[in-house]
Every structure is written in C-alpha cells, then in structure tokens.
C-alpha cells in the first residue's frame, strides 16, 4: 500500500499524553481498591506509550503507523492465592471492575506458598537517573527521507542488489509506574529509536538477503541512515554465489550479533523458571565451571542509555552490578521472588529477565579472530530453533562464510551446525573486541574450538 506523506511534526498530544503524577494517582487508586476489596497484598503497573514507524520500500512509502497506548495491570493476593487482570481504561469504574476480576480469580486459585510480593527490604530506595529518555522530534517527512536514504545507499552498493524488503525508521517513548502495597512506588520514562534496512541480491544460483540496523535511546546514538543502508547492502552482496559444504568437524566463529544468541541460551538455562521446573541443562551448576576459564560475564544494570538498564526489576527490587560468571565459574542465577522462593533462595533482582550482560573479551577484532581460527566456519545468520533447553543439544541451520588461511574464501548456505551447549561453552577459545551493544547482551564474536558442520 502507498500512503500519502504529510509534513506533520509531533504535537504535544502525540508525545506522552499523561503527566507522571496522573500515572501515580491511578496506581494508588488501584491499590486502594484492592485493599478495600479484601486483598491482603497487591501490586500494579500503570503505563503509557507513543510512537511512530515509517517504512519505505522501492522509494515508495509503504506504511505509516502511529501508536498511542496505555494500560493498567493489577495483581492481587488473598493470602497465598494470586489473581491478575488488566485494562486500558483509566476511569474509576474500570479500575474497580478490573480489581474485582483479579480478586475473583485469586479466590478461586489454589494456595501457592511461593506467591507474594517481593520482600520489603529488597525494594529500591534510591532510583538513579540512567539517562534513558530522549524524545526524537521526528516528523513523517523526515522519517521518509531517512528511509529513502538508507534504501538508496544499500542498493547502490552492487548492481546485483535488485530488490528490497524496505527500510524502517521508528521512534518510541514510554513510561510506567510500578507500585505495591508494601509502600513502593517508582517508575521512569524511556525512549527507543531505530533505523533498519533489508535488501535482496540476485545471482545465477538464486537470491540472497541480509540487513542491518541501528538502535538507541537517543537519535544521536544512531548510525547515519546511509551507513545503515551501506552495511546492509555490503552484507547482502558478499553472500551472493553461496555454496554448500561437505560435512566436516571444524572451529566455528559466531559473529557478534549471533554470539548474543549463545548468551541468551545460557541465560535461559540459569533462570528461575527453568531451574525450579528442572528443565535446564545447567541444573545445580552454581559454583561449577560452565564456560571456558577465559570467559567472565558481569551484569551491569546501571549503564547510562543502555538497552537493559533499569534501577529496579518488575517487582521493585533494587538492581545492582554483580558477577554472573567469573573465570568460567557460575556465580549466580537470574531469579525473581517467586522462582527464588521455589528454590529456597533469594531474589537476584531479575524479575522480568536479565539486565545488561557484559561479556569479557580479548584484543582481537573480527579479522584477527578469523586469522586465529585459520580454517573453519564464520556464522553470520542462524535459522530456526533446534535447541533443546533440557539437554543442551544444539542444531541450527546457518549461513556465513568458509574461512581458509584466516580469510574469507567464499559464502556458504544450506548447512547445519551441531553440538551441545555445555561442550560449546567450555570450548570457547576466544571472544573478540567487536562487541555488539545494541541489545542487553554485550558480547563480541565468539570462537568455538570444534563443532560438526553438516552440508552435502
């Protein structure tokens, strides 16, 4: 669909419409309704968000989308029975009805000894400013121009780049207030903006696609649109004329953005839900060597402007820097209050997931990592699932490049890599300094000593 373009600039109504005190007022109204309805404890999250997203494809405006959302979620406890409900209506009648629904659910739910609010002594008392809110004064016209700039830069890289999946430019702002009946109330505004571009190349053997993106809390943190397009075009062009490989065992080097997936599998394996359900390949691993000794991982929740930064978790528990892995040895899990109680432990301030994970690295960039590997596979894209979280068995389709003599020899596709995550983690030879900080897992390229690569 082609949409008309206006010179519209964000108005005050399209920015966050409600003042912070209004969110706080609604949160306290929810807690009062819960108490008067018979809840022994309650918690609520009141939020609002606005945003704009523009997609350009083949130099035409394909979509223009605005969002303006708000919501209330409430959890009530009647003893050790829990009920939850939500609404997008901030009126007094809607708040009352939503609380009553949560209370009704709680009264028909079985007792759960692990349920309840976070321990009061773990709640955040000081909320630092982490510099997370930077609105972008971006009009539709400006977004369209940036999208066209990215797409044109991508297509100009190589004449074999003949099609595009488009370029998207987006800005978003949000705010929340979390409050509970133990006296905690806190929240903050945050922003997140991005530019992405994806193009398609055509060769004698078929078509290839690749992409690139930039994201940040502030527009000034983003790469220029033309640079995003140039990288997307170059990544696509270098994949043309890809081949298959014969089945072989060899070292595998994961590009930084793909290495973040490996850290994600680790996080899932040492998170509370998987541990108390006994569905993790890293059960009872606290204090054990789970990585190569050259790997350390530190959680840094207070990095300014970072994607995973927060002063407190989803239960109001204060976050703090800590070691997760030190010289390969697991130092801590990722627990919220519920999973901690199920395990007979204490919360680690990770209700809602991990915060910024900073993985140790050496001095080698990606080129030096390829030279270190010598001969093997560089993975630039992983496809499908293929990971068993209970056993750690790992098998995924991938695309990338065959490396000979420390340099790219040719692109490869339609191959599968296989191993076991426990073995892979302990077989990490080196981690590069080419750290990808766009997400909440900051890691460079990862070289695994040996895996099975299945091809023809």
Taking the model in full, what pTM does it have?
0.92
Q: Which residues pair with 299 in a beta bridge?
A: 322, 357
Token duo for residue 243: 């081949």
| Mean pLDDT within 347-372 | 97
Q: Which residues pair with 398 in a beta bridge?
A: 382, 415
pLDDT category at 455 given cuts 50, 70, 90 is confident
**276-300 tens-digit pLDDT:** 999 999 999 999 999 999 999 999 9
**319-348 tens-digit pLDDT:** 999 999 999 999 999 999 999 999 999 999
Q: How far apart are CA 94 and CA 86, in angstroms?
A: 10
Q: How far apart are CA 350 and CA 90, in angstroms?
A: 29
DSSP 8-state code for residue 119: P
Residue 385 has a pLDDT of: 84
| Mean pLDDT within 190-219 | 94
Residue 204 has a pLDDT of: 78
Q: How far apart are CA 303 and CA 299, in angstroms?
A: 10
Percent of the chain with pLDDT over 90: 94
Average pLDDT, the chain: 94
| Mean pLDDT within 246-269 | 96
Residue 205 has a pLDDT of: 67
Give the distance between the most distant pair of CA atoms in the chain: 73
- For CA atoms 89, 95, 97, 100, the dihedral sign is positive
Is the per-residue pLDDT at 3 higher than 50? no
**396-405 tens-digit pLDDT:** 999 999 999 9
Is the per-residue pLDDT at 106 higher than 60? yes
Question: What length does the chain have?
Answer: 456
Is the per-residue pLDDT at 95 higher than 90? yes
Q: Which of 45, 47, 15 is nearest to 30 (CA)?
A: 45
Q: Which of 394, 389, 428, 435 is nearest to 289 (CA)?
A: 428
Task: Kindly list the domain boundaries of the chain, sorted by start residue.
Answer: 20-236, 241-261+361-454
447, 429 Cβ separation under 8 angstroms: yes
Task: Give the strand order in the sheet containing 441-442.
Answer: 329-330, 322-326, 297-299, 357-359, 441-442
DSSP 8-state code for residue 98: H
| Mean pLDDT within 109-124 | 96
Local structure of 26: helix, strand or coil: helix
Residue 7 has a pLDDT of: 35
Residue 2 has a pLDDT of: 25
Is the per-residue pLDDT at 12 higher than 70? no
User: Following CA atoms 233, 238, 240, 245 in sequence, which dihedral angle do they give, to the nearest 10 degrees?
Assistant: -140
Residue 340 has a pLDDT of: 98
More confident residue, 137 or 455: 137
| Mean pLDDT within 215-219 | 97
Is the per-residue pLDDT at 6 higher than 80? no
The architecture that CATH gives domain 20-236 is 2-Layer Sandwich (3.30)
Q: Which of 6, 16, 27, 24 is nearest to 68 (CA)?
A: 16
| Mean pLDDT within 252-257 | 97
Is the per-residue pLDDT at 5 higher than 80? no
Q: Which of 356, 330, 355 is nearest to 275 (CA)?
A: 330
221, 346 Cβ separation under 8 angstroms: no
Residue 298 — φ and ψ, nearest 5°? -120, 135
């Amino acid at each position: 669909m082609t949409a008309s373009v206006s010179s519209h600039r964000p108005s005050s109504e399209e920015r966050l419409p409600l003042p912070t005190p209004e969110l706080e007022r609604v949160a306290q109204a929810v807690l009062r309704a819960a108490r008067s309805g018979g809840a022994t404890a309650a918690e609520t999250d009141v939020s609002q968000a606005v945003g704009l997203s523009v997609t350009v494809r083949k130099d035409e405006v394909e979509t223009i989308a605005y969002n303006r959302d708000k919501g209330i979620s409430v959890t009530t406890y009647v003893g050790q029975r829990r009920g939850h409900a939500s609404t997008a209506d901030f009126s007094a009648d809607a708040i009352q009805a939503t609380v009553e629904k949560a209370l009704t659910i709680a009264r028909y739910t079985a007792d759960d000894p692990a349920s309840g609010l976070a321990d009061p002594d773990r709640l955040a008392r000081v909320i630092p400013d982490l510099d997370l809110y930077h609105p972008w004064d971006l009009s539709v016209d400006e977004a369209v121009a940036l999208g066209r700039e990215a797409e044109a830069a991508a297509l100009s890289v190589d004449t074999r780049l003949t099609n595009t999946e488009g370029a998207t430019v987006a800005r978003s702002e949000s705010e929340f207030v979390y409050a509970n009946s133990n006296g905690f109330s806190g929240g903050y505004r945050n922003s997140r903006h991005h530019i992405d571009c994806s193009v398609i190349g055509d060769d004698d053997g078929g078509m290839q696609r690749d992409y690139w993106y930039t994201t940040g809390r502030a527009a000034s943190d983003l790469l220029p649109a033309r640079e995003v397009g140039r990288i997307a075009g170059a990544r696509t062009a270098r994949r043309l004329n890809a081949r298959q490989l014969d089945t072989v065992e060899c070292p595998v080097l994961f590009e930084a953005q793909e290495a973040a997936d490996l850290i994600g599998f680790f996080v899932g394996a040492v998170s509370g839900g998987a541990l108390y359900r006994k569905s993790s390949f890293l059960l009872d691993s606290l204090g054990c060597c789970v990585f190569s000794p050259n790997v350390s991982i530190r959680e840094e929740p207070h990095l300014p402007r970072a994607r995973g930064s927060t002063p407190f978790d989803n239960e109001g528990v204060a976050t703090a820097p800590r070691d997760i892995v030190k010289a390969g040895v697991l130092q801590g899990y990722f627990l919220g209050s519920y999973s901690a109680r199920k395990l007979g432990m204490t919360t680690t301030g990770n209700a809602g997931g991990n915060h910024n994970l900073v993985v140790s690295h050496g001095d080698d960039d990606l080129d030096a990592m390829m030279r270190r590997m010598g001969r093997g596979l560089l993975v630039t894209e992983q496809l499908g699932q293929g990971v068993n979280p209970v056993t750690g068995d790992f098998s995924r389709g991938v695309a990338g490049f065959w490396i000979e003599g420390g340099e790219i020899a040719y692109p490869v596709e339609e191959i599968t890599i296989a191993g076991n995550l426990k073995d892979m983690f302990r077989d990490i030879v080196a981690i590069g300094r080419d750290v990808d900080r766009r997400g909440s897992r900051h890691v460079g390229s990862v070289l695994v000593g040996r895996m099975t690569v299945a091809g023809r």
